[in-house]
Structure 1
Amino acid sequence: MIDVRQLQSFLAVAEELHFAKAADRLGVAQSGLSTQIQRLEQDLGVTLLNRNKRKPVSLTDAGHLFHAEAVAALRHIERADQVGRLAARGLAGVIRVGYVASGASSGLLSMMLSEFRKSHEMVRIEVVPMETPRALEALSDGRIDVGIVRPRRLYPAGVITKVVQTERMLAAMTASHPLARRRAIPAHALADQSFIVPQFADEEGFGSALSALGEAGGFTPHLEYRVQDFISAICLASAGYGVAIVPESMQNFSQPGIFYAQIADFKLSVHLVLAHRRREISPAVRAFVQLATETFNGRPS
């Protein structure tokens, strides 16, 4: 098996075409250098150098071919060594980020990635859109490294979170809706509306936000459509199928025929959290989590 020392020895001789000069360049004894070259030729089963006491050292045809490959091989080795050292410091590697739609529409995801890239240009980022339940499953089994998701009452074992963004809720409806003439709507004005809500299960989702709206307006909300995400809710709302109660950052989602209104007496805030594994071994992932949680500390968007 060829080793790095043999490659270095061969390249020194190939470039100097003189054993003594090559030995001086490497800081080794000439006899040791000759031994390295001989072992290399034995390993390969071919003569790489023409040796003649009356003529300068020269490369054989095989030596010329091997020289190009040896240069490339050493460059790869040096690159691997550099990347390995950077990876140990969290400056190289791969991070897979799962995110909910509002993590992107709010600008949170792009701001996190922009901040991280300033000091970690060699870290490769892979981003995958996925709703909260699937993101937490993927985080737990290692398919992603970080999740930008909505909070849950319970998380998979070994997964922890920190709030990184806080938002108020808006009412989204078709632009032709009678209430769309108002910029701010009192909660009680929504009493007779049909609602569209992202609701993953009976106990998880935004059903609690809808209940809180009903309490603020003194009515029992009518849940007409249960969907998987806010984009689906907004698409239905823009087509006139009902009213969706959505985070304010969803205003950035450009959808024809949609109107967003504040709810004057409804102060409920919702959060996005950064989810990650408690015992994370990747230095790059640890660096991302540290930067993200220190820079984005849950203040309103």
Structure 2
Amino acid sequence: MLDVRQLQCFLAVAEELHFAKAADRLGIAQSGLSTQIQRLEKDLGVTLLNRNKRKPVTLTDAGRLFYAEAEAALRHIARADQVGRLAARGLAGVIRIGYVASGVSTGLLSRMLGDFRKHHELVRVEVVPMETPRQLDALNDGRIDVGIVRPRRLCPAGIVTKIVQTERLLTAMASHHALARRGPVAARELADQPFIIPQFADEEGFGFALTALGKAGGFTPRLEYRVQDFISAASLASAGYGVAIVPESMQNFAQPGVFYKPVADFGLAVHLALAYRRREMSPAVRAFVKQAVDPSITAKS
């Protein structure tokens, strides 16, 4: 089996065409160099160098062919060594990131990616849109490494969440809605409105915001439409199907026909959290999590 030292010895002789000069270049005894070349030729079963005390060393036909392959092999080995060392420091590897739509609309995902890339250009990042419940399942079984999620009271064992962004809630309604062009709206003025809520088909969806709004206004909200995401909710609201309660970052989507309006006596805020495995083995993932939780790390680097 070939080893790196044999290849290095052969390349030195092939390039210097002189055993003494090659030995000096490698910092080894000439006898040791000759032994390495002899072992290499024995392992391969072919003569690579023409040796003659009265003539310069030359490459045989087999030696010329082997030289090109040996040179390429050492380049690959050096590259593999470099990548391995970078990976050990979290500077190379692959990270799969799941995110909810608000991770994009708030600019959180792009900000995290931009900050991370400044010092981790060799890390490949794959991003996947995914609702919070699916992200938690995907984290648990290893299909993603990090998630940008809406916080949950309970997460699978071994999954940690850290809040990384907070934003207020707004109402989304059609631009021709009776309340759209009036002054500040109070929660009680929404009592007779049909509501549209992203509920994500699980009991911990966004329905808590609607419940809180009803409590603030002293009424029981009428849930008319349940959808899978805020964009769908805003689309229905813009068409006059009802009022949606959405994060303020939804204003970043230039959606025609929709009007966003705060509720004067409703101050509920919602959060985005970074979800990750407590016992993460990948140095690259650990580096991403560390920086995402504490963005000042980039500034200190």
Q: TM-score normalized by structure 2?
A: 0.93
Provide the rounded CA distance (Å) in 1 between the counterparts of 2:16 and 2:207: 76
**SS where residue 180 of structure 2 aligns?**
helix
CA distance in 1, matches of 2:107, 2:13: 57
Q: Identity, % of aligned pairs?
A: 79
Cα offset, 1:71, TM superposition: 1.7
Residue equivalent to 1:299: none
Does 1:119 pair with 2:124? no
- Of residues 252-261 and 266-275 in structure 1, the stretch that sits farther from structure 2 once superposed is 252-261
Alpha-carbon distance, 1:25 to partner: 0.8
Counterpart check, 1:216 vs 2:216: yes
- In structure 2, the CA distance between the partners of 1:124 and 1:183, relative to structure 1 (3 Å rule), is farther
- 2:74 counterpart of 1:79: no
The structural deviation recorded for 1:284 is 1.4
Instruction: Give, in angstroms, the shift of residue 43 of structure 1.
Output: 2.6
Which residue in 2 is equivalent to 1:19?
Answer: 19
Q: Distance in 2 between matches of 1:267 and 1:184?
A: 13
Partner of 2:181: 181
The 2-side partners of 1:82 and 1:241 are apart by: 58
Find out whether 1:134 has 2:134 as its counterpart.
yes
Provide the secondary structure at the position in 2 that maps to 1:28: coil
> How far 1:47 moved relative to its partner?
2.4
Return the offset for 1:202.
5.3
Q: Which position in structure 1 is the counterpart of 2:299?
A: none
Structure 1 residues 172-230: Cα deviation after superposition (integer angstroms, max 9, x where no partner): 12222222214642212221211111113452111110011111112111111111221
Residues 174, 180 of structure 1: 8 Å contact kept: yes
Secondary structure in 2 matching 1:85: helix
Q: Deviations over 1:100-138 (max 9, x none)?
A: 000111001111111112222222211111010001101
Kindly indicate whether the alpha-carbon contact (under 8 Å) linking 1:182 and 1:261 is maintained by their aligned counterparts in 2: no
CA contact (8 A) 1:173 1:240 kept: yes
**Is the contact made by 1:173 and 1:180 (CA closer than 8 Å) also made in structure 2?**
yes
Letter in 1 for 2:74: L
SS at match of 1:245: strand
User: Distance in 1 between the 2:19 and 2:225 partners?
Assistant: 82
SS in 2 for 1:263: coil
Deviates more, 1:62-71 or 1:162-171: 62-71
**2:150 maps to what in 1?**
150
In 2, are the aligned partners of 1:195 and 1:221 still within 8 Å (CA)? yes
Amino acid at match of 2:248: E
- In 2, Cα distance between the equivalents of 1:245 and 1:183? 18
Matches within 5 A, 1:63-74: 63-74=63-74
> 1:57 is aligned with what amino acid?
V
Contact 2:201/2:228, CA 8 A, preserved across alignment = no
Shift in Å, 1:67: 1.7
Root mean square deviation, CA, Å:
1.6
In the comparison of the two structures, how many residue pairs are matched?
296
Distance 1:289 1:110 in 2: 15
Q: One-letter code of the match for 1:86? A: L
**Long gaps (5+) in structure 2:** 297-301
CA contact (8 A) 1:170 1:260 kept: yes
* CA displacement 1:218-263 (0-9 Å, x = unmatched): 2111111111221221222222222110011111122222221111
| In structure 1, distance between residues paired with 2:71 and 2:17 | 16
Residues 1-301 of structure 1 aligned to structure 2 (within 5 Å) = 1-182=1-182, 184-201=184-201, 203-295=203-295
Of the structure 1 ranges 201-210 and 39-48, higher mean CA displacement relative to structure 2 is found in 39-48
Secondary structure at the residue paired with 1:152?
A: coil
Identify unmatched segments of 5+ residues in structure 1.
297-301
> C-alpha distance in 2, partners of 1:48/1:140?
54
